Amino acid sequence: METLTLFIESNIQYAHLIIFGSLLLAGLNIPVSEDAMLFISAVLASRHPEYLPHLFIGVFMGAYLSDLICYSLGRFLGPKLFEIRFFARMVPQERIDKIHNFYEKYGIVTLLVGRFIPFGVRNGLFLTAGLGQMKFIKFALSDLTACTISTLTFFTLYYHYGNTVIKYVKEGNIVIFSIVLLALGGYLIGKRRATPEENQN
């Protein structure tokens, strides 16, 4: 990451545009890490305070528009996405149904929690929201709130603490990811237990 940071820093006057453009590619599921872009933008802002507004706006707008692009892929291409092997593996129908149920039950909470989960879960959530035909305005407003909270949180941490906080952020993400997995497992187990009882009635 240090090499990438140095490269972007050597073009600091265009850094916000490089970061913004890279995040738009992430919306197309090209493997660009939002976490890395947040870290780089915050570290560069701490080194070059005069570029802080440009860097924050670049990473924030890049992250948010990337989410909208990913959502739009699912909403407007729909089932055609499954003709592309990469997307078919990324979001099997069973996962779409599960995440859609979470959206219906917990709404914005799903996005708030999902933005803090690593391992490529974010794009899966956004894509699923589109595939599940979640209303655009509902997604846009919910994700705007979630994106604002997560971007401000991580940008501020990286800006003030840099590399020293990376370890704790990663550990925190793993904890959140584990909690969500346990909650999902508990929900599925409870649903399976409830199904036989409903059939008996």
Taking the C-alpha atoms of residue 169 and residue 156, their distance in angstroms, rounded to an integer, is 12
Hey, which of 53-62, 133-142, 158-167 has the most confident mean pLDDT?
53-62
Which range (23-37, 40-54, 119-133, 149-163) has the least confidence?
Answer: 119-133
Contacts of residue 17, Cβ cutoff 8 Å, sequence gap at least 6:
58
Taking the C-alpha atoms of residue 158 and residue 166, their distance in angstroms, rounded to an integer, is 8
Structure tokens at 92: 């099997």
Q: Report the percentage of the chain scoring pLDDT > 70.
A: 71
Mean pLDDT (whole number) for 186-200? 58
Provide the domain count of the chain: 1
Per-residue model confidence as pLDDT tens digits over 77-97: 877 776 766 666 666 667 667
Residue 5: Cβ within 10 Å count:
17
Contacts of residue 35, Cβ cutoff 8 Å, sequence gap at least 6:
118, 154, 169
* pLDDT, greater one: 172 or 71: 71
Structure tokens at 158: 């990286």
Q: What was the pLDDT predicted at 121?
A: 67
Taking the C-alpha atoms of residue 153 and residue 139, their distance in angstroms, rounded to an integer, is 21
19, 37 Cβ separation under 8 angstroms: yes
Q: Kindly tell me if the per-residue pLDDT of 102 is higher than 90.
A: no
* pLDDT, greater one: 179 or 110: 110
The predicted model scores a pTM of 0.75
Per-residue model confidence as pLDDT tens digits over 3-61: 888 888 898 999 999 999 999 998 887 878 888 899 999 999 999 999 999 999 999 99
* Strand ranges inside 13-117, DSSP E: none
Q: Kindly tell me if the per-residue pLDDT of 64 is higher than 60.
A: yes
Q: What was the pLDDT predicted at 48?
A: 95
Mean pLDDT (whole number) for 71-77? 86
Q: How far is CA 200 from the centre of its chain?
A: 41
179 secondary structure, DSSP code: H
Mean pLDDT taken over the chain: 78
Closest CA to 57 of 72, 69, 45, 70: 45
Domain span holding position 89: 2-200
Q: Residue 45 phi/psi, 5° resolution?
A: -65, -35
